[in-house]
Amino acid sequence: MARVHTHYDNLKVARNAPPEVIRAAYRTLSQKYHPDRNPGDSEAARIMTVINTSYEVLSDPIKRQEHDIWIAEQERTHPANEESVASGSPEFSDSKAATPPASDRFAQKLVRAIRKRTSTWLPGDWMVLGVLCVFAISIWLNYSPEPSAVRVPAVTSKSYVADPPPQTPQYVRPSMAPNGSPWPTTASYVAGYKKLHTDGRSTVTVDNSRNASDVFVKLVFLDSAQAYPARVFFIPAYSSYTVNKIRAGMYDVRYRDLNTGGISRTEPFSLEERQTSGGIQYSNITMTLYKVPQGNMQTYAISEAEF
């Protein structure tokens, strides 16, 4: 008769083993090969996959019956010198025989004793059965399996896979400005934000006229211990906007592309005012945003915290 390697061999139980014995054998093997107890051991992870697959088959009456039919067919049709391995149940070697916990060995003996007794049932056996059941229940209630003994789902690969890394949330264009105000319908200041440094004469024009994205823009004052926005405004795609009456000082422009969520800033620039013989001379700066070829101001990507 051919030697057929089966799911019973993987769990190290007899082919006629009752469900209680199969469950006890699985629990013992899973305690030994669980990935939590063997971190980084690819062989232990592979064996755990084999154990899970075998237990899934043998714990299901229908699948177990189909497996028994397959075994009989293999042993009937294969020559005695051939070896057949159950599909989806690769063999593994275990140099140390798995010994079930004391509570599981008692459960196995109890099942065999009950089955033997009931085959020749006697009236006095009811008393014996009652004592055995009470004893078994008391052991079961006081037995607490280790957390790693809990069955884990079978993995599909040969290595243990940890939880996947968190996914970066996909950007969704906001329907309103960060302060809750609606976006303007034309290029203009966003309602609710303060207009600071309004005592100057300089102007800054931001040219978004050749871009297909709306932008949320901040004119940021840099001549202080901490930079802060002096003006906050909105420019639709294919538009421009001029901010005027700005006090002299060092500034840059920071803006969010409302289509992609990308945030950028320009190089710092200086707005100047000085008295001349002909009057007050002040700065009038026009800057084009990054998509315009040969724009007159270099831009850089920045983080959310810098915006």
The pLDDT assigned to 4 comes to 81
Distances from the Cα of 96 to the Cα of 12, 30, 93, 235, 267, angstroms: 12, 14, 9, 74, 70
Which residues does 16 contact at the CB level (< 8 Å), separation at least 6? none
Question: CA 184 to CA 175: how far, in whole Å?
Answer: 11
The pLDDT assigned to 29 comes to 93
- The answer to whether domain 3-91+99-149 and domain 188-301 are alike in fold is no
The pTM of the full predicted model, rounded to 2 decimals, is 0.46
Question: CA 201 to CA 273: how far, in whole Å?
Answer: 8
Q: What is the DSSP letter of 176?
A: B
The model's confidence at residue 289, banded by pLDDT at 50, 70 and 90, is: confident
pLDDT in tens, 265-279: 998 999 999 888 888
**DSSP β-bridge partners for residue 130:** none
User: Is the pLDDT assigned to residue 149 strictly greater than 90?
Assistant: no
Query: At CA 201, angle to CA 196 and CA 206, rounded to 5?
Result: 70
Which residues does 304 contact at the CB level (< 8 Å), separation at least 6? 263
Packing angle of the helix pair 102-119, 125-142 (nearest 10 deg): 160
What is the residue extent of each domain of the chain?
3-91+99-149, 188-301
Give CATH for domain 3-91+99-149. 1.10.287.110
Q: Tokens 């200041």 identify what position?
A: 189
The pLDDT assigned to 117 comes to 59
| Burial of 115 (C-beta count, 10 Å sphere; 0-12/13-18/19+) | exposed
The pLDDT assigned to 300 comes to 81
pLDDT in tens, 11-44: 999 999 999 999 999 999 999 998 888 999 999 9
Question: Which of 206, 232, 203, 201 has the alpha carbon at shortest distance from 219?
Answer: 232
- Strand runs (DSSP E) across the chain, as ranges? 3-5, 83-85, 188-189, 202-208, 215-221, 228-235, 239-246, 249-257, 263-266, 269-271, 273-276, 279-282, 284-288, 299-301
Percent residues over pLDDT 70 in the chain? 67
- The CATH homologous superfamily of the domain defined by 188-301: Immunoglobulins (2.60.40.10)
Question: Which of 239, 236, 243 has the alpha carbon at shortest distance from 195?
Answer: 243
Q: Tokens 């469950």 identify what position?
A: 23
pLDDT in tens, 90-110: 555 444 444 455 555 666 666
**DSSP β-bridge partners for residue 266:** 299
- Between strands 83-85 and 279-282, the pairing is unpaired
